[in-house]
Amino acid sequence: MAKRKSFGGDGIHAGKKQKMNHVHEAPTSEEVHTGRQLRHLLTFEQDLQKARHGLQSFKNVLDSIVNNDEKKSDHMQILLDFLESSKPREVQDEVPVYLPDIMETWSMASQMNNENVMSAVPVVLALLLKVLSANVDQVSYGLGVCRTLLQKRQQELIAKNLSADKGKDFIISPTLRLLREAISLDGGALAAPIFRARINTFKSLARNLGLKYIGSGKEDPKRASVRTNATRLLLSCLKLLHNEAKRDLLLQRDIVAALMRHLRDDPPFLISEILDVLKTSVVQDKKLAKDVKIKILNAYSLTQIATLYGYSKEPSESEDSTESKKLSVEDAAHEILLATCTDSTVGICRSQQGFYPEGIAPDAFIPDAEAGTVSTMALTVYLG
């Protein structure tokens, strides 16, 4: 039988379907002068290119505020006017939806797999929460946005972003930053509800903790990798969750293992953050049971920390000013190992009295007159 000819073009692979690479087009934007203009730009658009234009214009306003540039005060007033005009009305027995047009745009982008807008929305929302958290009068609005994110529809959008393909850092990282801002807002007011929704909000977290920086040179803290963003989300949870929720988190073996697995490969700034939170929020947390601490301070984790002796990576230029004020990686590792393995009051060591009766402090000074009596008591207890 004669072979069927290929009419797809020349060459041996001509008949194969070629893989299409995602094209990142630079977004357009415009200068925003009023809150009304900003609201018009963010009105729901079925044309996602126009929607992206509006989101980028909004991002420019927020960047100006975060970076304290010369237009900060003007842009802050524009933002406040926009927030006031877009605040949902309180209706009895109805859950208010904050920023409904942006949420609708996100939903449509997700349905159409428009990755540029799927990335742009969490970028903007994370920046917005960052700005609102620094403005006491607007924290309540930020909490409203976070409660909107906890609604089922938005949870599903978050989960889809978090479980994007491994190479889609531009989608995963902004979503992780958004969750971190939401958890940290108002001292962790909504940390517990966000953690309870972890089937969506922590979707693919163990995998994302393994997506290390693979670029050339050193990782820039301002352009953090997926692992760095995922780690910071996890550390924020350890700092802000109450003990019961923290216990549930530490019982997630895949997440704990993923956190510690690549520790030695992490940049200095991230290792310092990890060790600092482990020390203050786990080791030194006296309300946290030792059997829970052991879930993260197990033999594997302690071995990973011990490998940091001799750590040789130098901080990047952007880290130098802050890192100089902190302990070196080696010293930080030594401190946490010392606290964990030698202090029975905070670490994982069990308290013990040796051969001394309960209630006797073995290191306490005992006058000579009483020494014989105590020794006799100890010997009696030992001999039974």
Distance (Å) of CA 176 to CA 125, 146, 181, 194: 11, 14, 9, 12
pLDDT at residue 6, rounded to an integer: 45
| pLDDT tens for each residue of 135-150 | 999 999 999 999 999 9
CA 75/CA 124 separation, integer angstroms:
15
Q: What is the dihedral of CA 111, 116, 117, 119, to 10 degrees?
A: 100
Closest to 276 (Cα-Cα) out of 229, 212, 209, 328? 328
pLDDT at residue 14, rounded to an integer: 43
Closest to 237 (Cα-Cα) out of 201, 269, 271? 201
pLDDT mean over 19-37? 78
* Degrees, nearest 5: CA angle 237-243-248: 70
| pLDDT tens for each residue of 303-316 | 999 999 988 876 66
pLDDT at residue 320, rounded to an integer: 52
Between 157 and 350, the higher pLDDT residue: 157
CB atoms within 10 A of CB 248: 14
pLDDT mean over 43-63? 95
Assign 3-class secondary structure to 347-383.
CCCCCCCCCCCCCCCCCCCCCHHHHHHHHHHHHHHHH
Residues 96-111 as b/e (b if ≥16 CB within 10 A, e otherwise) read: ebbbebbbbbbbbbbe
Percent of the chain with pLDDT over 70: 81
Looking at residue 149, its amino acid is L
pLDDT mean over 182-200? 96
Lowest-confidence segment of 1-15, 32-46, 283-297, 320-334 by average pLDDT:
1-15
Distance (Å) of CA 58 to CA 16, 106, 384: 42, 15, 77
| pLDDT tens for each residue of 331-369 | 999 999 988 888 777 767 766 656 666 666 666 655 555
Contact 269, 322 (CB under 8 A): yes
| pLDDT tens for each residue of 214-237 | 877 888 888 899 999 999 999 999
Contact 78, 61 (CB under 8 A): yes
Residues 255-280 as b/e (b if ≥16 CB within 10 A, e otherwise) read: bbbbbbbbbbebbbbbbbbbbbbbbe
Report the Cα 198 to chain-centroid distance in Å: 13
> 4: pLDDT confidence band, cut at 50, 70 and 90?
very low
* Degrees, nearest 5: CA angle 176-61-81: 105
Element (H, E) at 133: helix 115-133
Closest to 102 (Cα-Cα) out of 13, 41, 155? 41
Contact 45, 51 (CB under 8 A): yes
Could you tell me the two tokens for 347? 């670490």
pLDDT at residue 19, rounded to an integer: 42
pLDDT at residue 12, rounded to an integer: 41
pLDDT mean over 259-287? 92
CA 297/CA 65 separation, integer angstroms:
41
> 373: pLDDT confidence band, cut at 50, 70 and 90?
low
pLDDT mean over 258-270? 93
pLDDT mean over 9-36? 65
